[in-house]
Copies of this chain bind each other. A is one copy, B any other.
């Protein structure tokens, strides 16, 4: 079918088939075409068939921008994440996008980097598109942003973190708790001296802080705490270990703020002749592919990013479909002991 009557062919630059064209061809009112598309149950089989034929013949693509203005529903969700360069974020984003897609929503992704002002600017910008919901990273908002979000009157999920006063829905876990758990894990293995290599993003810092606090509570020793730029890659882990190598005690337990950092440290330890795990025990964070697939694999903390994405989508959908009370989902984390400890 070569779209014989395609209006777009003859209308110049503003060419586009619209609902009235379809309606005319099918011999029905535009509203009926709309119903075929949005509420097929309320249209007779026969009419629907005629309309669908017309749609097909004309190559009609509904204009969601017009529909959105009219219905006040954009069928779009905005997601604001620092970056997609890390599995930490692209996993939840990918799963969230798929899940929302299955429910008929498009996800618009905005990348905010690691500067708070950039994040606020991105949120402001996407709000102009009138999303039906919002996915944000982290749970700490400025008062001005909270006001803006509450004015927007849409459900908001915050992921990857917990807070006592979330904006709305929360799907995450306590990063400080993770750090403490790692310290306990090391202590249980007989460690007394510790080090940390942490990226300077808010959540990595929370993990590191929880780690250091627990070490202090145990009466043990932090021999080094080294900060890396965010987002931190394998190279940063290598440089980091090199930077703190001299301060390492006879036997040290190292917590890396991500698996990339931890793996870099392990590689550099090899170069420096520091034995892993005997002289240096290493625990990463994230359960990225590399922690499992490296030879040998190394110990890390697993948090199911896919589960966060799925749960975020589920909660948002529930709320958009009428659930009134915002929920709070705590995602579990667990340490996966492997050969590096």
Q: What does the 1/0 interface line of A55-72 toward B look like (CB < 8 Å)?
A: 000010111111011001
> Hey, which chain B residues are within 8 Å of A3, CB to CB?
147, 151
Measured in the bound complex, the distance between the Cα atoms of B107 and A48 in whole Å is 34
Chain B residues, Cβ within 8 Å of A260: 289
What residues on B are CB-neighbors of A72 within 8 Å? 14
In the complex, A293 has a CB within 8 A of chain B = yes
Residue of B126, B129, B293 touching A233 (CB-CB under 8 A)? B293
Residues of B with C-beta under 8 A to A267: 293-295
Q: In the complex the two chains form, what is the Cα distance from A52 to B3 in whole Å? A: 48
* Contact flag A87-B85 (CB < 8 Å), given A108-B106, A234-B293, A238-B293: yes
Question: Which of chain B's residues have a CB closer than 8 A to the CB of A319?
Answer: none
- What is the total number of copies of this protein in its complex? 2
Identify the closest chain B residue to A130 (Cβ). Answer: B65
Assuming the A-B contacts A84-B94, A109-B107, are A124 and B65 also in contact, with contact meaning beta carbons closer than 8 angstroms in the complex?
no
Residues A11-40 near B (CB distance < 8 A):
13-17
Which one of A8, A17, A147, A293 has the highest number of Cβ atoms from chain B below 10 Å of its Cβ?
A293
C-beta contact mask, A261-293 vs B, less than 8 Å → 1, else 0?
Answer: 000100110110000000000000000011011
A111 at the interface (CB under 8 A from B): yes
Q: How many residues of A contact B (CB 8 A)?
A: 64
Which of B6, B66, B69, B148 is in CB contact (< 8 Å) with A59? B148
Residues of B within 8 A of A65 (CB): 65, 68-69, 74, 129-130
Tell me the nearest residue of chain B to A292, going by C-beta: B235
CB contacts (< 8 Å) of A63 on chain B: these are 69, 128, 130
> Is A243's CB within 8 Å of the partner chain B?
no
Once the chains are docked, how many angstroms separate the CA of A235 from the CA of B289?
8
Name A's B-contacting residues (CB within 8 A).
Answer: 3, 6, 8, 13-17, 59, 61-66, 68-69, 72, 74, 76, 83-85, 87, 90-91, 93-94, 97-98, 106-111, 124-130, 147-148, 151-153, 233-235, 238, 260, 264, 267-268, 270-271, 289-290, 292-295
19 contacts between A and B (CB under 8 A): A8-B151, A15-B151, A59-B151, A61-B124, A62-B128, A64-B128, A65-B69, A65-B74, A69-B69, A76-B108, A84-B84, A106-B108, A106-B110, A106-B125, A234-B290, A234-B294, A235-B292, A260-B289, A271-B295
